[in-house]
Amino acid sequence: MRKIAVINQKGGSGKTTTTVNLAASLAEKKRKVLLIDLDAQASATSWYGVAKDTKGIFPVFAENASLTETILKTEYPNIDLVPASTWLVGIDKRLAQEVGSEMILRGQLDNAAIKKYDYVLIDCPPTLGVLTTNALCAVDEIIVPVETRFMALNGLVHLLETIDIIKKRLNPKLKIAGIVPCRVDGRTKHAREIVAELETNFKGMLFKTAIRENIKLSEAPSFARPIIHYDERSKGAEDYRALAKEVIKQEQK
C-alpha cells in the first residue's frame, strides 16, 4: 500500500484537482484507492458528489472515532472516500494542547482494514497546520502540484524546507514522489520558462507529465465528475492518465 499526501500550501495550485483525478485514473487501472479529504473546504468531497452535511473525518480527530467508520463508497469502482466538512475549521485550536496530536492519522492508517487499498491519497489543506502535519506524519510519499506562475516557485522552496523538517523530526520515511507542473499553458512564454526552471532546479523530482490548462478540467467539478468520467477524450483526461502511469511505473524501480 502506498500512502501519498498531495500538498501545496498555496491555493489554486491544482492540489485538489490532482488528488481527485489521479485517484480516478489509478482506479481505472484497477488499483483500489482510498481518498482522504482533509480540507475544510471539502472540495474533493464535493467533486465526488458527496454532500457536506456530515461531520466527515472530524470525529477521527476530535472524538477518537475510527477512520474506517467514516469511509464512504463512491459511484466509481475501486474508489472509496473519507469526506471532509466545515467541522474541520476549528480543529487546529481544538488539538493545540493535545500531546501527540500530529500522529492521530498515522495510527488510523495502521488499521488492518485500510491495508486492502493499493493507494491512500490525501488531499491536504492549503495551510501547514495540524491536519497537514498529520498527513505528512502518516504517509511515506508526497506529490506536489505546482502552478506554472513565478510566485509558485518561492512557495515550493518554502514547502520543501518544511517537508525536510518533518522528515528529520517526525517521519524519517518521508520522500517526494514527484512535483507536477499544473495549469500549464504552453502558448505562453512565461509558462514555458517556469517549466524549464522547474526542470533545472528540481531535477530528479519532476514528473514528466505536465497538466495542461484545459477548460474541460475546469468544468468537471461543477458536474461532480472526475475528468476521465466527464470528458474522457479531453487533454485533462489524457494528462491525468499519463500521470497515473508514471506513478505506477515508480513501483517497478
253 lies in some domain:
no
Instruction: Walk along the chain (253 residues) and give the pLDDT tens digit of each residue.
Output: 999 999 987 766 789 999 999 999 999 999 999 999 999 999 999 999 887 678 999 999 999 999 999 999 999 999 999 999 999 998 988 888 888 899 999 999 988 889 999 999 999 998 888 999 999 999 999 999 998 776 667 778 888 999 999 999 999 999 999 999 988 876 777 778 888 888 887 888 999 999 998 899 999 999 999 999 999 999 999 999 999 999 999 998 6
d(CA 76, CA 60): 25
252 lies in some domain:
no
145 lies in some domain:
yes
Number of domains in the chain: 1
Domain that holds residue 101: 2-247
11 lies in some domain:
yes
> Cβ contacts of residue 67 below 8 Å, gap of 6+?
57, 60, 82, 105, 108, 109, 111, 114
Q: How far does CA 75 lie from the centroid of its chain?
A: 20
List the grid coordinates of 85.
466538512
d(CA 4, CA 8): 13
The two most distant CA atoms of the chain are separated, in Å, by: 51
Domain holding 167: CATH number? 3.40.50.300
Single-letter amino acid, residue 74: T
List the grid coordinates of 43.
472540495
Work out the end-to-end distance of the chain between its first and last CA atoms, rounded to an integer number of angstroms: 15
- Select from 138, 193, 135 the least CA-distant residue to 9: 135
193 lies in some domain:
yes
201 lies in some domain:
yes
pTM, rounded to two decimals: 0.94
152 lies in some domain:
yes
- Is residue 56 left, alpha or beta, with left meaning phi > 0 and alpha meaning psi from -120 to 50? left
224 lies in some domain:
yes
